[in-house]
Structure 1
Amino acid sequence: MDYYLVLLLMLPFVWAFIRIVTSNNLSSQTLPPGPHPFPIIGNILELGKLPHQEIAKLSKTYGPLMTLKLGSITTIVISSPTLAKEALQKNDQAFSSRTIPNMAHVFDHHKLSMAWIPTNAKWKNLRKASATQIFATKPLDATQALRQTKLQELLDHVNQSCKSGAPIDIGQLVFTTVLNSISNTFFSMDLAQYDSNLSQEFRDLACSVAEEAGRPNIADYFPALRLIDPQGVRKRTRIYFSKVFGIFDGIINQRLQLRASSKGFKESNDVLDSLLNLTEEDNSEISLVDIKHLLLDLFLAGIDTTSSTVEWAMAELLHNPEKMTKARDELEEVLGKGGRVQESDISKFNYLRAIVKETLRLHPSVPFLLPRKAKTNIEICGYIVPKNAQILINVWAMGQDSSLWQSPNLFMPERFLEQDIDYKGQDFELIPFGAGRRICPGLPLANRMVHLMLASLVHYFAWKLPNEMRPEDMDMAEMFGLTLHRAVPLLAIPIKSL
């Protein structure tokens, strides 16, 4: 059912609830400015189909610190690096909680997920396990050879595609590579093959979860409707989570049986074994259920955002052929004509690294980051951010700000050769992975994989658009969700060049 039709049908049921909620007196507080809200629904209708873009337009009128009333939820939108720094650095502790979407309540994920739970002892344990067992430099270095193997499989597949001259879906190709790289790191096994139905099913699952998490949901704006689930978001999410947990249960149960057997079991030292070892420690605070929900977060979020970034980067290079040529020239200069791309070379690829930064500026993986929530009243720039307000950091709007970036709509990697800005949480002009204690834990792995795959696709192959399409005619539209996908899959024809 259409989103706005559902909204209109539910108005009579929420009227009494809203009267109670809005009776709270906030008149003594000075909220940041914002558009005048309609009765009951507030500013919901102003979100449109691309909320990050519509809210960015509103911020140009009402300023980089803006109030929106989304049903019964007071939302504060931040759209400038200065204010983002104040929120995520100076007031990081006060804004470290989350506004929990209704879809995250499925299987109590909101109580078990590192992404959604408060920054309490459980969160610290999960964060520590992720850092030490997965994303620290030592375990990442130890799995370099594995990623190199998966990268070679990618190149072999593209080589085969060169013979047919048919276009390939770059997003799907990269997704399968990332999926198998991470599944081998975690489980010592591939979960899909190129052009397989299973690979497409995994991608559909990841995209569907991102869409459900990002879509405007009446039950989020009017919490009294959560049990009713008028748009069916929670029902669909349960189906998606069940499919993923079913796969994890099979893998974990098989591993537990092998570990229990004294015959021929040799610990693989992959992530799953490391996490299972943690559960067996005395007084361990990490359970098998925790592991399943941690894997859900890392799989669905990490694979989807990484592959989406590579797809956007390739789209921009095909859209701007002169940038593609410049990137290929740099790679040939550093590696030689037939040189092999390796992770140790990434620091030498100055222009390629600038391409990745420019891609993340124009197409941040999570345009609002994950929503935060104020634990108490906080004063910012003379305004009050009230307790329990939802905090949205519009990193997409910051990337489009003409006061920060010259010609912000243009793809210009050169801008990052002229200024020392990185995306690791210290330069608030560019924080696609967030900042502060809630910064994305998977950033170190994503950084390696994005550069490795992008460099390889550019270095080993020339690319052309199908059907004699001109670069300027490419559809560069976005599709909103928790992850910012392309509205149209990127199809291109590879031509072997090495």
Structure 2
Amino acid sequence: MFPSFHLTLSTLFPAFILISLFFITFKWLSSTSNTSKNRPPSPRKLPIIGNLHQLGLNPHRSLQTLTKKHGPLVLIQLGNVPVLVASSAEAACEILKTHDAIFASRPKLSIPDTLTYGSMDIAFSPYGEYWRQVRSIAVLHLLSSKRVQSFRHVREQETFGMIDIIGNSCGSVVDLGELLNSLTNNIICRVALGRTYEGVKFNDLLVRFTYLLGSFSIGNYILWLSWVDRLSGLRAETKKVAQEFDEFLESVLEEHVNKKRMVDDDGNGNDKGQDLVDILLDLQRDDTTNSILRRDAIKAAIMDLFAAGTDTTSTAIEWTISELIRHPRVMKKLQKEIKDIAHGKPMITEDDLEKMTYLQAVLKETLRLYTPLPLLISRESTQHVNLMGYDISAGTQVIINAWAIGRDPSRWEEPEKFSPERFLNNSIDYKGLDFEFIPFGAGRRGCPAIQFAIVINELALANLVYKYDLALPKEVRGEEIDMSEITGLTLHRKSPLLVVATPHFE
């Protein structure tokens, strides 16, 4: 039975492939012959795959190369999906400000959709009433200045704990990236879930989750090749991680519900000691939000906090320390500022951070050179629009290369150089108003958790350089540090940041 089936399949398969190739090539030629509209410049593309082969291992760099050749707006074809790539501050302003509402939606991507309960989170949900309501809930109840400040003790306790761990290393080599990842995970866990969840299993789940969010699914761009995602195991792994994370979050929700039953509700609205799950569950009981905050929506919101608040934050600090080791002058200048402000205090607290202008400049310079999400998160046009003189069709995906914009020589002097001084005595900020510097995006879909992320960055960095001199092991010079990168959704160092920390303040 099996041999005859194999013979039939082997006979029909080549014919099927030839017919498919003929049909797709005909469709491709038909689409490329339409010149009635003024499209943005496009690089030459291949049948079926379009420009997929040109993305490379580091798409932010490959796309920068394309835009250097063709201009700040380039229309590429990924499979059968048109994708507009913007790589200048002017183009970003047009998309994120002038035509923000038209470009405020998200494309439906299979992996984020599976991981976030059908895109019920803030980051990946399509633009519309649901997204507006859940974002409003997050901004008002989870990420307001008052709420962020209320978790100050968590950030300080976890940061001081990391500093103690380094101190106990007795001058031996430590994996700073691993410590920073543990720091951000612990902070998010305590803020969102009420306590830390340590252990290999939980950490492995987070690693797999963030890795999958940055994975490329061929089926999103060439539908008839979706079988490749199944064959590679990508689809199965995504479903497995989604199920494991769901089981974990279900146990967290049940734990909070049971805790709520066991305590007396005083009814005075006092939320002291509440974590974000407590707050969301309280909001769910409110009739005005109950239809929006279904159980899956709460879980999706919590997943967003882990996706946006752990990996991106720890990598930003790791890149900053890497550059400080490479540039001893900057390190010494930063240490002097912190020492002068600290006045011999045992640790830096959040009260001290506002005065540290050079610290803020150092972090800005890192975010410029190592944008945490180099291509931000893809958008999708909801209607036809004329953009910088070009016709953009509805349904076009949009990639904003924030990494390339941060290195644009027309906007930045010596753009490849690490020079925090460029951010002194000017008003350029990362809050989405200066389009040459948009590490957190801008417009309606800009990151709502900027304040929460920045204060972790500043506090951890200030205490690290205040307490220790950081050097590479085995007498390797700072300028020899490997600065190679790997790209998923987040820009990571390719190799671990191994350092030797020497206390320099008593």
TM-score by length of 2: 0.90
Q: Deviations over 1:366-386 (max 9, x none)?
A: 001000001111111211111
Percent of pairs with identical residues = 32
Aligned residue runs from structure 1 range 314-325, under 5 A:
314-325=321-332
Alignment partner of 2:398: what SS?
strand
- Structure 2 residue identity aligned to 1:213: L
Q: Deviations over 1:204-239 (max 9, x none)?
A: 444443443334431121134446625432222222
2:423 to 413, 416, 422: 416
Q: Deviations over 1:447-468 (max 9, x none)?
A: 1111010111011111111121
Partner residue in 2 for 1:280: 285
Structure of larger gyration radius: 2
Q: Contact 2:441–2:447 (CA<8 Å) still a contact in 1?
A: yes
Partner residue in 2 for 1:178: 184
Aligned residue runs from structure 1 range 242-257, under 5 A:
242-257=243-258
Q: Contact 1:171–1:490 (CA<8 Å) still a contact in 2?
A: yes
Cα distance in 1, alignment partners of residues 452 and 398 from structure 2? 27
Unpaired segments of 5 or more residues in structure 1? Answer: 1-9
More divergent stretch after superposition (341-350 vs 419-428): 341-350
Shift of 1:110: 3.5
Partner residue in 2 for 1:440: 447
Q: Contact 2:190–2:196 (CA<8 Å) still a contact in 1?
A: yes
Q: Deviations over 1:69-101 (max 9, x none)?
A: 111011110000111011000100000111232
Cα distance in 1, alignment partners of residues 164 and 134 from structure 2? 37
Aligned residue runs from structure 1 range 204-243, under 5 A:
204-226=204-226, 229-230=229-230, 231-243=232-244
Cα distance in 2, alignment partners of residues 148 and 14 from structure 1? 60
Cα distance in 2, alignment partners of residues 298 and 405 from structure 1? 32
Alignment partner of 2:57: what SS?
coil
- When residues 121 and 159 of structure 1 are mapped into structure 2, their CA distance, relative to the original with a 3 A threshold, is same
Partner residue in 2 for 1:37: 45
Aligned residue runs from structure 1 range 1-80, under 5 A:
15=21, 16=23, 19-20=26-27, 23=30, 26-80=34-88
2:406 to 384, 388, 399: 399
Aligned residue runs from structure 1 range 297-308, under 5 A:
297-308=304-315
More divergent stretch after superposition (139-148 vs 25-34): 25-34
Q: Deviations over 1:373-402 (max 9, x none)?
A: 011111112111111111000011111211
Partner residue in 1 for 2:12: none
TM-score by length of 1: 0.91
Q: How many residues align?
A: 481
- When residues 490 and 370 of structure 1 are mapped into structure 2, their CA distance, relative to the original with a 3 A threshold, is same
1:292 to 299, 310, 335: 299
CA RMSD of aligned residues (A): 2.2
Cα distance in 1, alignment partners of residues 250 and 397 from structure 2? 34
Aligned residue runs from structure 1 range 334-373, under 5 A:
334-373=341-380
Q: Contact 1:33–1:66 (CA<8 Å) still a contact in 2?
A: yes
Alignment partner of 1:463: what SS?
strand
- When residues 12 and 141 of structure 1 are mapped into structure 2, their CA distance, relative to the original with a 3 A threshold, is farther
More divergent stretch after superposition (266-275 vs 170-179): 266-275
Cα distance in 1, alignment partners of residues 95 and 17 from structure 2? 34
- Structure 1 residue identity aligned to 2:411: L
Q: Deviations over 1:416-457 (max 9, x none)?
A: 114321001001111010000101111110011110101110
- When residues 456 and 11 of structure 1 are mapped into structure 2, their CA distance, relative to the original with a 3 A threshold, is farther
Cα distance in 2, alignment partners of residues 71 and 323 from structure 1? 45
Q: Contact 1:96–1:373 (CA<8 Å) still a contact in 2?
A: yes
Q: Contact 1:64–1:80 (CA<8 Å) still a contact in 2?
A: yes
More divergent stretch after superposition (217-226 vs 121-130): 217-226
Aligned residue runs from structure 1 range 447-466, under 5 A:
447-466=454-473
Unpaired segments of 5 or more residues in structure 2? Answer: 1-15
Partner residue in 1 for 2:200: 197
Q: Contact 2:24–2:47 (CA<8 Å) still a contact in 1?
A: no
Cα distance in 1, alignment partners of residues 352 and 137 from structure 2? 28
Partner residue in 1 for 2:492: 485
